[in-house]
């Protein structure tokens, strides 16, 4: 599971950092981080997909959000026994604290 998360988060972090640096043209002398390369990449992808280049970033963001929900759902499904035990313990401690507060408020 650890490698699954690393292989999922690594490309997302790489894409996000490239997008942010190239969007604001913080190139540090590397061509792929320039705004020209940014525009060229989106022009190529837009031409391949047949859509305007400015429509691509929201589509990529939406895909990342959907994939993130799927990955988090898979993790929650695999750890459902631990999550359920944690939830039960939390509810019991909250109800005990509520009962203690009620008993203190009734004291004369």
Predicted local confidence at residue 104, as pLDDT? 62
Domain range for 12? 2-106
In angstroms, rounded to a whole number, what is the distance separating the alpha carbons of residues 75 and 80?
Answer: 8
Query: How many domains does one find in the chain?
Result: 1
Q: Residue 28: helix, strand or coil by DSSP?
A: coil
**Mean pLDDT across the chain, nearest whole number?**
87
pLDDT value, residue 103: 67
Instruction: Please report the pLDDT score of residue 61 as a whole number.
Output: 94
Q: How far is CA 91 from the centre of its chain?
A: 28
Answer yes or no: is pLDDT of 102 > 70. Answer: no
Q: 42 near 58, Cβ under 8 Å?
A: no
Tens of pLDDT, residues 22-73: 999 898 999 999 999 999 999 999 999 999 999 999 999 999 999 999 999 9
Instruction: Please say if the pLDDT value at position 108 is more than 60.
Output: no
**Cα–Cα distance measured from residue 1 to residue 79, given in angstroms and rounded to the nearest whole number:** 11
């Amino acid at each position: 599971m650890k490698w699954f998360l690393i292989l999922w988060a690594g490309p997302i972090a790489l894409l996000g950092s490239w997008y942010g640096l190239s969007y604001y043209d913080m190139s540090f002398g590397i061509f792929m981080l320039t705004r020209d390369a940014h525009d060229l990449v989106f022009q190529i992808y837009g031409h391949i997909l047949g859509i305007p280049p400015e429509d691509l970033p929201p589509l990529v963001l939406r895909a990342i959000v959907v994939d993130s929900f799927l990955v988090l759902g898979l993790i929650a499904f695999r750890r459902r026994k631990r999550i359920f035990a944690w939830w039960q313990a939390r509810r019991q401690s909250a109800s005990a604290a509520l009962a203690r507060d009620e008993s203190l408020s009734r004291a004369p």
